[in-house]
Chains A and B, each alone.
Chain A
Amino acid sequence: MAKAPQVQIQPSVFASVAFLKIHDFGRRPVVEQARLRAQLEAAVAVVLQDLKEDARIVLDAADGIALVVLDDPRAALALAGRALAAGAAGLPLSIGINHGAVKQSGKGKHEGLLGDGIAVAAAIAELAGPKKLLVTREFRDALEDAAPGAEAALAGAGTHTDASLRAHALYRHEPRGAARRGARYAAAAAVAVIALAGAGVAFRVSIEGFDRYAARMEAQAMQAVARLRGEAPAAAPPPLQRAAKRRSR
């Protein structure tokens, strides 16, 4: 019996795709297109220096460049941020980042990648507007998975529908978001300390009564001070006696 031919299916992998799109590229004169393209390639060459060659793939798009970051979504975000900064000098970049499936496609000179990871990143870049960076919910989840807490650098930017009528929950890059989150956690820690220690105090007060408890604390404090000064601690008067003395004063 003849054997059925074996079809080799290329595997899909999940990767972060930063789509660097030159804003309004199609409407610009061709000479300007050539200039902007050269500028973009220069900017990409600079930002790629910080990323291991093995961890990324660069794809050509008609109106920009797609950077596929294979391992770490944080690197994709950092890369995009640097590209935006590097391109600030007259390069109207809009950047969309998505985390999704990509797959090897094409043969010979047309080899490249395809997949929803790229399609959505391109659509988001279209929505972003000049000198703006938007990321998808999927990328935020990937960032959170790779480094819990890193997603704090992203702030909600609402839900948008792209030209293909696909709705995307989007986030914008908020570099100070991490600092704000740190401040919130510090405040929460302070509140927790105060609340829990206060609960202990409240428990004692409810058992001993405020006067006895206050007197005991005062005595303990005085003994501690005396110890610090190197004096022999005076015998502490019974708490109730001290409280009565304070009341007569």
Chain B
Amino acid sequence: MAKKKDIRIGRYRILDELGRGAMGVVYRAEDPSLDRIVALKTISLSDADEDRKAYEKRFMLEAKAAGKLTHPNIVTIFDYGEEEDVAYMAMELLEGEDLRARIRKGDIPPMEAVEIALQIADGLGFAHEFGVVHRDIKPGNIMLLERGAVKIMDFGIARMRHADASKTSTGMVLGTPRYMSPEQIGGQPVDQRSDIFSLGTVLYEMLTQTSLFAGQDVNQIAHSVANTEPAPPSHAHPELPQMLDFIVARALKKDPSVRYQDAYEMAADLRDVLAEMRGRAPSRDRGDEHDKTQTLRFDAAAEKLPVAPAANAIARETRLPLSRVFDSDAALGRVEARGKRERFTLPPKRVGLFRRIWQDRLPRRLLVAALLAAGLGVLIASS
């Protein structure tokens, strides 16, 4: 029998392929020196010399940064290096399913969704303390382990690819548009608040089983990210506590300065709402909305959003849902009923002099007084 060829990257012996993505391949590998099974994430380096050098430098810097992150909610990185045209990162091998698969199944009860978001927020808070911004938080990068543990994956590589801003030197924006923050999708410099926005979209998706920023192409999604104001999750699921609406709304603020400034701050609020929810009976929300998230490259310079602040503001502020506290669905029939009557479909009319005198008490009195005075004047003049 022919012996299977022994493939190695660095000192790691490749056992089998775990997955393949746009950025590289993930293998199950064995570290012979420690007799440990690891996940070996590889990424092909560019052939161009300048790019290669830049990638190498960033990879080393970012792998070092990610390697410092030892936290229960962050995947542990053991080693990194490069061999020929491949850069690799050895990390702990996680057994479980990713959040994307879990959302597809549609069986995340709200309490569990909050628990997952809380753990992600804790992990992000820790990473941000070390100056590491993930920049690609999405369900596909969240691993759910047994006993409810949650791990954030893909630190380092995302960072390496993004360097100091979310744009590369060639003007390319990297990430997953559906989960990107407005500043990230606009090619602006991003910080930890961008990860908080992405976490907000993930939480929203877990709670409602719907993608917050949908669209048929990147342009539509980018427009949606920049302009769509999400309806509170409790509109879809009235059993959710109102405080959760506020948390989601605050995480999803378009303006980073009014968003949560710190993932720990969001985690604290999630803890509070979790405590509130524990007092209620758990409920299960089901949906069949599925997502297809993939990390995309697109040219931010070529696809910059049009600057239309007034239109943006109208789109943002103009659509408001019915308040279920005060009104039922039938309330909208009032608008429909009035739409059939002409006087409600026209803007206000100018008030002319005659109407002013007829309908306004004070000018009418003035006119009467003037007429009486005029009559008196005529009487005096003719007497």
Task: Report A215 CB to chain B, min CB distance, Å.
Answer: 14
Chain A, residue nearest B380 (CB) = A200
A148–B383 touching, CB < 8 Å: no
| Chain B residues positioned under 8 Å from A193 (CB to CB) | 369-370, 372-373, 376
Any B CB within 8 A of the CB of A112: yes
A 31-65 binary contact with B (CB < 8 Å = 1; else 0)? 10110010001001100100000110111111001
Any B CB within 8 A of the CB of A222: no
Task: Report B345 CB to chain A, min CB distance, Å.
Answer: 6
A contact set with B: CB distance below 8 Å: 10-15, 26-27, 29-31, 33-34, 37, 41, 44-45, 48, 54-55, 57-62, 65-66, 70, 99, 102-106, 109-116, 118-119, 122-123, 138, 141-142, 144-149, 162-166, 181-182, 185, 188-189, 192-201, 203-204
Given A138-B348, A189-B370, A204-B383, check contact A114 B320 (CB 8 Å). yes
Which 4 pairs of residues, A with B, have the shortest CB-CB distance?
A11-B339, A200-B380, A200-B377, A164-B313
A111–B332 touching, CB < 8 Å: yes
| Chain B residues positioned under 8 Å from A55 (CB to CB) | 334
How many interface residues does B have (CB within 8 Å)?
Answer: 70
Chain A, residue nearest B352 (CB) = A148
A165–B309 touching, CB < 8 Å: yes
| Chain B residues positioned under 8 Å from A11 (CB to CB) | 335-336, 339-340, 345
Any A CB within 8 A of the CB of B243: yes
**A122 CB contact (under 8 Å) in B317, B321, B351:** B317
| Chain B residues positioned under 8 Å from A29 (CB to CB) | 269
| Chain A residues positioned under 8 Å from B378 (CB to CB) | 200
B contact set with A: CB distance below 8 Å: 229, 231-232, 235-236, 242-243, 246-247, 249-250, 253, 258, 269, 272-273, 309-310, 312-314, 317-327, 329, 331-332, 334-336, 338-340, 344-351, 355-356, 359-363, 365-366, 369-370, 372-374, 376-381, 383
Task: Report A159 CB to chain B, min CB distance, Å.
Answer: 16
Task: Report A194 CB to chain B, min CB distance, Å.
Answer: 8
Main secondary structure of the interface of A (DSSP, over half): helix
B381–A57 touching, CB < 8 Å: no
**A148 CB contact (under 8 Å) in B231, B324, B329, B356:** B356
| Chain A residues positioned under 8 Å from B361 (CB to CB) | 149
Most buried by A among B231, B236, B380: B380
B355–A148 touching, CB < 8 Å: yes
Chain B, residue nearest A48 (CB) = B326
B348–A99 touching, CB < 8 Å: yes
Task: Report A191 CB to chain B, min CB distance, Å.
Answer: 9
Complex Cα gap A62–B251 (Å): 12
B313–A54 touching, CB < 8 Å: no
Task: Report A95 CB to chain B, min CB distance, Å.
Answer: 15
Chain B, residue nearest A182 (CB) = B362
Complex Cα gap A132–B162 (Å): 45
**A200 CB contact (under 8 Å) in B322, B336, B381:** B381
Task: Report B195 CB to chain A, min CB distance, Å.
Answer: 18
**B339 CB contact (under 8 Å) in A10, A116, A188:** A10
A113–B366 touching, CB < 8 Å: no
**A31 CB contact (under 8 Å) in B272, B360, B383:** B272
Task: Report B260 CB to chain A, min CB distance, Å.
Answer: 9
B348–A142 touching, CB < 8 Å: yes
Chain B, residue nearest A193 (CB) = B373
